[in-house]
């Protein structure tokens, strides 16, 4: 399964494939990892074995363009949807790299280790395209200076990235919730013959154990200052793109269930 996922992600990151093909490959990889992790956890519980171990990993986040804080916010939301908690080191406004420290189950961290680069690639490509389009549109409205256009592009880009991560995280949570609902006498995970049992209890216990370990490792954390720049247009566009991104989570493109984004946001 892991080799199959790696193969899909290698194809997703191939410059020769189209955006749609890249999203489709990442989609299948995300679905395989999520289903496999829950099925493995249930199997361990049924055999009376210890639950998945809690571990941690460091994930480097680029600060290129001054968008590091927005990237951290987006990726932290996605990691939280997988049941992980995160802290960040060096999260300032500079263009330098910063490190996210993720605490979660081994299977969740394995999934994030493989999926975050591909999801980030799609997010950055969308943010770059949409922010450029936005600047082109507003340039026609009035005679903005080059400095004003660059400031607006950065505001739009950061808001887009934050909202994209939030939307993707919502869809991951919805997918995990659907898998829990399938864990009934009438349902099964992955279309198998045997019903899936205990998914809700397994996931709930994992969250509790992750929280305990995170607070043990980081008993005192400073809250980082939120970014003061915000673009309502960028946030709306990022949220919509995140809801529409092809993730393979039983959600058709353009769907994604209910939206938590109000028109005023």
Strand partners, 102: 57, 86
- Answer yes or no: is pLDDT of 3 > 90: no
Tell me which of 48 and 64 has the higher pLDDT.
Answer: 64
Question: What pLDDT was estimated at residue 189?
Answer: 44
Tell me which of 138 and 257 has the higher pLDDT.
Answer: 138
- Among 6-15, 42-51, 165-174, the range with the most confident prediction by mean pLDDT is 165-174
Question: What pLDDT was estimated at residue 155?
Answer: 93
Evaluate whether 162 touches 74 at the Cβ level (below 8 Å): yes
Tell me which of 77 and 114 has the higher pLDDT.
Answer: 77
- Among 4-13, 19-28, 129-138, 225-234, the range with the most confident prediction by mean pLDDT is 129-138
∠250-251-254 over CA atoms, to 5°? 160
Question: What pLDDT was estimated at residue 40?
Answer: 76
pLDDT band of residue 111 (cuts 50, 70, 90) is confident
Instruction: Tell me the C-alpha distance between 118 and 245, whole Å.
Output: 12
Q: Out of 26-30, 97-101, 105-109, pick the least confident.
A: 26-30
- Compute CA 259 distance to the chain's CA centroid, rounded to the nearest angstrom: 16
What pTM, to 2 d.p., does this model score? Answer: 0.78
Length of the chain: 265
Instruction: Tell me the C-alpha distance between 25 and 122, whole Å.
Output: 12
Q: For residue 246, give every residue at least 6 positions away whose Cβ sits within 8 Å of its Cβ, in sequence order, or none.
A: 20, 23, 24, 26, 27, 253
- Among 17-26, 166-175, 230-239, the range with the most confident prediction by mean pLDDT is 230-239
Question: What pLDDT was estimated at residue 182?
Answer: 66
Q: Out of 48-57, 66-75, 97-106, 182-191, pick the least confident.
A: 182-191
pLDDT digits (tens, 9 = 90+) for 156-185: 999 999 999 998 888 888 877 776 666 544
Evaluate whether 238 touches 162 at the Cβ level (below 8 Å): yes
């Amino acid at each position: 399964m892991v080799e199959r996922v790696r193969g899909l992600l290698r194809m997703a990151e191939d410059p020769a494939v189209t955006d749609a093909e890249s999203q489709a490959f990442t989609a299948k990889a995300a679905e395989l990892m999520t289903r496999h992790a829950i099925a493995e956890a249930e199997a361990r519980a049924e055999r009376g074995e210890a639950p998945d171990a809690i571990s941690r990993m460091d994930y480097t986040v680029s600060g290129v363009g001054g968008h590091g804080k927005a990237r951290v916010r987006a990726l932290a939301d996605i990691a939280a949807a997988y049941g992980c908690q995160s802290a960040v080191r060096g999260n300032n406004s500079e263009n330098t790299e910063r490190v996210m420290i993720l605490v979660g189950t081994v299977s969740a961290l394995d999934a994030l280790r493989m999926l975050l680069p591909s999801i980030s690639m799609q997010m950055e490509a969308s943010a770059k395209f949409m922010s450029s389009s936005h600047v082109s549109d507003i340039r026609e409205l009035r005679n903005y200076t080059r400095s004003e256009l660059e400031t607006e592009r950065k505001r739009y880009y950061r808001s887009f990235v934050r909202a994209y991560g939030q939307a993707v995280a919502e869809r991951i949570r919805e997918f995990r919730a659907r898998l829990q609902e399938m864990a009934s006498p009438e349902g099964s995970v992955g279309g198998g013959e045997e019903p899936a049992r205990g998914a809700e209890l397994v996931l709930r216990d994992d969250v509790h154990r992750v929280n305990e370990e995170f607070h043990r490792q980081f008993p005192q954390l400073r809250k980082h200052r939120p970014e003061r720049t915000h673009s309502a247009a960028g946030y709306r566009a990022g949220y919509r793109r995140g809801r529409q991104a092809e993730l393979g989570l039983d959600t058709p493109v353009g769907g994604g269930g209910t939206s938590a984004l109000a028109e005023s946001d």
